Every structure is written in C-alpha cells, then in structure tokens.
Amino acid sequence: MTRIIKQHAGGYAMVGIVLVSHSRALVEALRDYTRVIAPRAAVAVAGGMPNGEFGTSYGSVYRAVSEVNNPDGAIVLIDMGAAAMVVKMVLSDLDDPRVRMVDCPFVEGAVEATVQAQAGVERGTIIESLKSLTNLRKF
C-alpha cells in the first residue's frame, strides 16, 4: 500500500473518523479501543438516542461529524445498515464532499481508519483501504 502523507503549516494532516452505532456503550467501547491503537487520531462518536435508548440520533451524528471534520475531511463508519439512513440525511444536509460514509466491517474499519488517519494518510486512500475490508475473512 502506498501511503500519501500531507503536511500542513500546523503539522501533519489528519482525517477525522466518526463512529456511529445504535448503542452508546458499543460505540464508546470501540472509540476507547481505537485510542489504544491510534491515540492521536481524531475520533468522534454518535451512539444511541438522547434518552439512552438504542437507535441513531440525527443530532448526535451531526455533532460528531462537526467535531472532527476539518480541511482533510472526515470518514463515517456505521455499525448496521439502519444507521446509514440517518447518516445519509446528515451528509445531505451538510453538503460537504470532504465527508464520506464507507461501508466496511465496523470494528476492523475503525481500527484501519484510525491507524491510517493518525499516520496522515489522505482520505481517498483510507476510503479505498476500507472498501477492501468488505472481503475480509477472519479465518
């Protein structure tokens, strides 16, 4: 894999990563896991509904994307397909081509994305790498 690293005046570029789950506990645990592997990666989470129930909250997703989106863009990963509808609404309203949702395994994608983002890999390269995970076999 070719790594393309950009540098800005303030330091290395870093794509923001947004993890979206129906469960607050699940998404927070995954964020904590990625912090062990890529502690400097910009990761925001949106999980569950504001009242604590399972679901995907438009407001939470919007805030999470806004938190880590920057000139290098952001990548949104989801736990299950139903979350995609909410994320699509948020991305449509944001109308920012730098923010993309990628279909890939949630845990493996989160690890891959945060490690590459921390290394300064460009958004397009990370996205292509994440797409390749759809054929990932665990054994």
Strand partners, 44: 18
Total domain count for the chain?
1
Q: Residue 20's domain spans which residues?
A: 7-134
Query: Domain with 103 in it: what CATH number?
Result: 3.40.50.510
Angle at the Cα of 78 from the Cα atoms of 98 and 54, rounded to 5 degrees: 130
Q: What is the pTM of this model?
A: 0.90
SS3 content of the chain, % helix, strand, coil (to 5): 45, 20, 35
> Does the pLDDT at position 4 exceed 50?
no
Confirm whether 139 is domain-assigned. Answer: no
Region 1-6: what's the mean pLDDT?
38
Tens of pLDDT along 26-62?
Answer: 999 999 999 999 999 999 999 999 999 999 999 999 9
133-138, long-range: CB < 8 A, 24+ apart: 133/104, 133/105, 133/108, 133/109, 134/103, 134/104, 134/105, 136/105, 136/108
**Parallel/antiparallel/unpaired status of strands 11-12 and 7-8:** antiparallel
